[in-house]
Structure 1
């Protein structure tokens, strides 16, 4: 049982204020400015609204108080720790040791200016950043507070992973001796990446070094540097080294030695930290005890509204919440759709909402295409079935549609979830799965396009040899009449309209579809699949 709390937060706050005044700071504002902190942060500490300073705040306070008073940071730290001794949030022995290390002189050569201690030239600029306070704090606690050696950050394209990583680096950079940012977009071989990092670290340390000739020795030299100095290394766009066409988390051929990099950085003791940012994290990072990971979701309405607020032309603020929910708080999607609303609806969000549709825009469509192209065949098939289903589907319902075992279906669903493409809801007896709205829109458009291509191709070849989606997917429910009406309106009707433009006349299209049925009658049922039913439903739509 923990010891009873003997000091309340208000008492700690008064003692911290007294320490600040003793060191020479007259006002909250004066201390806040010297420590490079928000005045509100200092005020909450002094008034007991915050139980104790987090690590970054504590370090900044100690540095400011030491600089003002002339006392050593270690002495100031001791006094601050004593203030919170006996409170519910007192600093543990591990916390104190970490904070002490922040002020001890490092045995290795120390940098004298920023240019010698960081290489952030490849870190993108983030002109505007909204929300993510909780996520920033969680990452900071993992990297600075708990000194995790390997941290993963994953999420759907456009969700703001890189922007969050940039803000994190800017916030914690003073806690590290050296910082490097690299992108894996172009999939550099591990030996090439390590050689570049080691050359930069040698430059930081003012050393001359001869690079080893094997990946194993390069890794050992990197670990040597991480043992000697507090270094933060960021590897962005790590999906560049992951394999497309397989379940999430598998390395590309020729890049599996990255597993050894992640394992050694995560398992071995050292002072550094590696942050991996990716649309999908390697499996070993996602499940390892020696790594921490954060899956980034969309912004809550309050923060997402700030993005819309940057567009002064947008009106109908009462409808902004619906727009944010429609795009699930995805920052990039909201920036794209806000431009569409301005251009096409003169900024009237209400006018866009009543269209009862979801517009992707080419930039978002390209982003989704890149991510969908990475899916395995089974993941892709699940995506198409969920797009047709329109409503959340349970695992038994979904498995009944797939020619695979239950374990294979679960693995594929889990993989889609780790790619942030699925939403799931749970009731009392089972979990249901559905696509994110933007993914639903994209897959539906692709389905319509694929069906139209297959039917048009059969007109040229006079065969059904190229039927794939038509045969493998049942486009219309034969049991749920309400769902059938929805599928006819959202899937079959757009197919009819597109084919109508291609075939010019309704009679010409109808004749070709009847010819397809004749061809299918001559084929074995197992080869026909759902083709007959889908063609008949399409003919039904043409007649209406």
Structure 2
């Protein structure tokens, strides 16, 4: 038989420091067990202090840069017994993604660890790319020994509630269910008799489905009210409005960007030295969004030779297709009022007070409706709030600002095409309700929205664009002021740099 060995308590602490320097989780970083030519299950046994084959133990140590494996091993060795079970209880990571790196979040992990002793439901929310799934993985990875069962389920493919229940119960006892009420009772029985951690990743995928109001919302609230010893950890890009996060049973954590030190560690892991000029400004520009920083780093290295300051001098943002898709998915779920609030904030490009924002809406809004819209956007982590002594102001994060600006220009371009084809200004929606030039400024030449819109329209109409805009203005005289709105102002703003 081959020899077996296990790590000592001090040795595990050394291994823990080594993997943190690399930004690896304990068992969710695929590269670790792949580099060691072993499995996630064996890596879990390593952290549990169980004996594993010596050559695999050495490979696990080497993968994180520990050459002296004997320094972390228990002093005695014994024969390896393959009959030793790999891990007690249920461990269903089937739908959990693998992580390439994980940095920082010590405070968030400590907060989650404090909550799991009493909370039935914990919801981690935040805008796309902030690392909600990564945090849930790192937390589950670190705390799994405290639970008899751990099951990870992804909601990104919008499963029906009955399908989710069927999947969960199959992990417990290989049974299936066809009735939601019966399935919920069965699940609660398991959660009462066994301390389990259930992770439901990507709740936003079901928030807009018909099942949310009729089934999912009630299901989650039932889990929060019933007496059981388990915890359900949920990730979502927005906080569910119908689930009030109050009391000990329901907790909510809004995930913001990485702090500067952790963000620097991330950037260094992607090839930067950490000594480049402008690193703090780069982190602030992206608000510490880890996914966004991972996207922009190789671009800076390839195009600017690692010169961060040269990239910042371009006064632009690199978003990437995947993050752009995540942000646009969030925007698609907004109401007309919420979308219009974001458009105005993108036009202003700076913090705007509630009163000032209210005055620019074409139709006078009930202040309560506007406040509710702002609160909804804050639940979705799309707004930044600035609090002064006398008033508060709102703006958008740079990444959100750019996505909203892109969407606004695309909608304005599409509306122009329809009006030109039909000669009917009723197809003007954003043209009518929004002034594309920031109110109170004469710097039209420096306005990003009007410039991008002009460029889009020039690509479609070319040299005929000035006449096209004049034709639009000719449609307005016989219309009511409410029907015209900002259409005329926007057409004139587009004409001005054309010297007409």
The alignment's TM-score, normalised by the length of structure 1, stands at 0.74
Question: In the TM superposition, what is the alpha-carbon distance from 1:194 to its structure 2 partner?
Answer: 1.2
Cα distance, 1:487–1:445 mapped onto 2, change above 3 Å? farther
**Gapped regions of structure 1 (runs ≥ 5):** 1-28, 41-62, 65-110, 204-208, 244-250
Cα distance, 1:346–1:518 mapped onto 2, change above 3 Å? same
Question: Which residue is 2:165 aligned to?
Answer: 194
Cα distance, 1:335–1:221 mapped onto 2, change above 3 Å? same
Question: In the TM superposition, what is the alpha-carbon distance from 1:455 to its structure 2 partner?
Answer: 2.7
Question: Which residue is 2:38 aligned to?
Answer: none
Count of residues in correspondence between the two structures:
428
Q: Distance in 1 between matches of 2:258 and 2:460?
A: 42
Q: Distance in 1 between matches of 2:477 and 2:399?
A: 38
**Residue 99 of structure 2 is aligned to residue 126 of structure 1:** yes
**Residue 407 of structure 2 is aligned to residue 407 of structure 1:** no
**Residue 120 of structure 2 is aligned to residue 149 of structure 1:** yes
Question: Which residue is 1:233 aligned to?
Answer: 198
Question: In the TM superposition, what is the alpha-carbon distance from 1:252 to its structure 2 partner?
Answer: 3.3
Cα distance, 1:326–1:487 mapped onto 2, change above 3 Å? farther
**Gapped regions of structure 2 (runs ≥ 5):** 1-6, 19-47, 50-83
Which deviations, in whole Å up to 9, do the C-alpha atoms of 1:56-102 show, x marking residues without a partner? xxxxxxx99xxxxxxxxxxxxxxxxxxxxxxxxxxxxxxxxxxxxxx
Cα distance, 1:311–1:276 mapped onto 2, change above 3 Å? closer
**Residue 389 of structure 2 is aligned to residue 416 of structure 1:** no
Question: Which residue is 1:496 aligned to?
Answer: 454
Which deviations, in whole Å up to 9, do the C-alpha atoms of 1:119-167 show, x marking residues without a partner? 1121111121111111111111111xx3321111111111100011111
Which deviations, in whole Å up to 9, do the C-alpha atoms of 1:202-242 show, x marking residues without a partner? 25xxxxx6x56532221111111111111111111111110
Asked if the contact 2:89/2:148 (under 8 Å) is kept, the reply is: no
Q: Distance in 2 between matches of 1:422 and 1:31?
A: 45
Question: In the TM superposition, what is the alpha-carbon distance from 1:38 to its structure 2 partner?
Answer: 5.6
Asked if the contact 2:445/2:497 (under 8 Å) is kept, the reply is: no
Q: Mark the structure with the bigger radius of gyration.
A: 1
> Within 5 A, what are the aligned runs for 1:255-266?
256-266=214-224
Question: For 1:532, what is the secondary structure of its paired residue?
Answer: helix
> Within 5 A, what are the aligned runs for 1:296-375?
296-312=255-271, 317-375=276-334
> Within 5 A, what are the aligned runs for 1:225-304?
225-243=190-208, 252-253=210-211, 256-289=214-247, 290-304=249-263
Asked if the contact 1:314/1:338 (under 8 Å) is kept, the reply is: no
Question: In the TM superposition, what is the alpha-carbon distance from 1:464 to its structure 2 partner?
Answer: 2.5
Q: Distance in 2 between matches of 1:331 and 1:374?
A: 23
Q: CA RMSD in A?
A: 2.5
Which deviations, in whole Å up to 9, do the C-alpha atoms of 1:370-425 show, x marking residues without a partner? 11111111111101011111111111122223343111111111111111110001
Cα distance, 1:322–1:414 mapped onto 2, change above 3 Å? same
The alignment's TM-score, normalised by the length of structure 2, stands at 0.80
From 395, 415, 421, give the equivalent of 1:434.
395
